[in-house]
Amino acid sequence: MKFDERLFFDRKEIMAVEKSLGDEKRKRIFGEERREILAIVLKADTAGTEEAIISSLQALDTDIVIVEVIHAGIGNISKTDLLMAETASKLIIGFNVDLLPRIKEAASEKGIEIRLHDIIYRLMDDIEQITHSMVPPIENEKITGRARVIALFSGGHKGIILGCEVVDGALALGKQFRLISDPGIVYVGTIDSLHIETKMVKKAVAGQQVGLKIPGFKRAKKNDLVEVFETIPSAFHIWQPQGGVFDLRSRRR
């Protein structure tokens, strides 16, 4: 059967709804008011450089991640800086400075990461990459089946059976699906029951008509869209301090 796009709603509208659901998902992860904090100890070679870096770091704040300099100073990285970093994100940024004796060994022992820079824009890029890694990505999706609701049947107490015509891909037990109606997405769940006539089936493919039961829901209408999807995990590495020194200077000393 040829897939007729006119049977379905504008894909851009659906994507807009999905994007808003993604924002809500992020709020559930972090809470309405809570934001992740990257608490940094900063050491620079001059007061002017220190002020410029702090100002630039503040510009990296987002709705989800705050970059906060909890301690800053002039001169080489010392034991005091390690103690301050140990109470925060265990991250020390040094700009045009070096380490006092035994600091490298102590940082490794305490799991504190020291990152040395001598170019401000590279320092900013470095910290921005770290903040990006603190934001879990919204997982990608793959659409594996679509069906049009052509009939509605009673599904018992507070439930309904959708008479569906599969027009693309397949509907299969255990798969996630969403029901898209006139206002947008009205239901998201898992396929627990499929019937072709009176026979229970595990799968229905394009061209077949199948009954899909939704318990506790009765807001479906004819011509609604059933969309089956699967989540594709994203490759994602959350930054964690690696004890030791990372010399990122253009001219290593």
CATH 2.40.30.10 maps onto the chain at: 139-232
Q: What is the pLDDT of residues 215-238, one digit of tens each?
A: 889 889 999 999 999 988 776 678
CB-facing half-sphere around the CA of 25: CA atoms within 13 A: 11
pLDDT reported for residue 29 = 35
Given a cut of 80, is residue 24 above it in pLDDT? no
Q: Which range, of 134-148, 165-179, 201-215, averages the lowest pLDDT?
A: 134-148
What residues pair up with 171 in beta bridges, in sequence order? 204
pLDDT reported for residue 252 = 63
pLDDT reported for residue 35 = 77
pLDDT confidence bin for 196, thresholds 50/70/90: very high
Given a cut of 90, is residue 43 above it in pLDDT? yes
Q: Which residues contact 154 (CB under 8 A, 6 or more apart)?
A: 160, 161
Indicate the pairing of strand 91-95 with strand 113-117.
parallel
Residues 200-211 have a mean pLDDT of 96
pLDDT confidence bin for 1, thresholds 50/70/90: very low
Q: Which residues contact 67 (CB under 8 A, 6 or more apart)?
A: 38, 40, 57, 58, 60, 61, 127, 131
Residue 2: C-alpha distances to residues 11, 33, 166, 171, 236 (Å): 18, 48, 11, 17, 38
Contact (Cβ atoms closer than 8 angstroms) between residue 58 and residue 38: no
Given a cut of 90, is residue 81 above it in pLDDT? yes
**Cβ count within 10 A of residue 252:** 8
Residue 100: C-alpha distances to residues 76, 106, 193, 250 (Å): 6, 11, 68, 20
Residue 169: C-alpha distances to residues 143, 146, 229 (Å): 8, 6, 10
Q: Which residues contact 20 (CB under 8 A, 6 or more apart)?
A: none
What percentage of the chain reaches a pLDDT higher than 90?
A: 68
Which amino acid belongs to residue 6? R
Residues 136-150 have a mean pLDDT of 88
**Cβ count within 10 A of residue 45:** 16
Sheet with 113-117, strands from edge to edge, namely 65-74, 36-44, 91-95, 113-117, 244-247
Contact (Cβ atoms closer than 8 angstroms) between residue 191 and residue 211: no
Cα Rg of the chain, angstroms: 27
Q: What is the pLDDT of residues 126-138, one digit of tens each?
A: 999 999 888 777 6
Q: Which of 82, 60, 77, 66 is nearest to 116 (CA)?
A: 77
CATH fold for the domain made of 30-137: Rossmann fold (3.40.50)
Q: Which of 52, 63, 73 is nearest to 123 (CA)?
A: 52
Residues 17-21 have a mean pLDDT of 41
Give 216 or 164, the one with higher predicted confidence: 164
Give 126 or 12, the one with higher predicted confidence: 126
Distance linking the first and last C-alpha atoms of the chain = 69
- Helix (H/G/I), strand (E/B), else coil: 86: helix
Choose from 17-21, 26-30, 75-79 the range with maximum mean pLDDT.
75-79
Per CATH, domain 139-232 is 3.40.50.1100: no
CATH 3.40.50.10050 maps onto the chain at: 30-137
pLDDT confidence bin for 36, thresholds 50/70/90: confident
Given a cut of 70, is residue 250 above it in pLDDT? yes
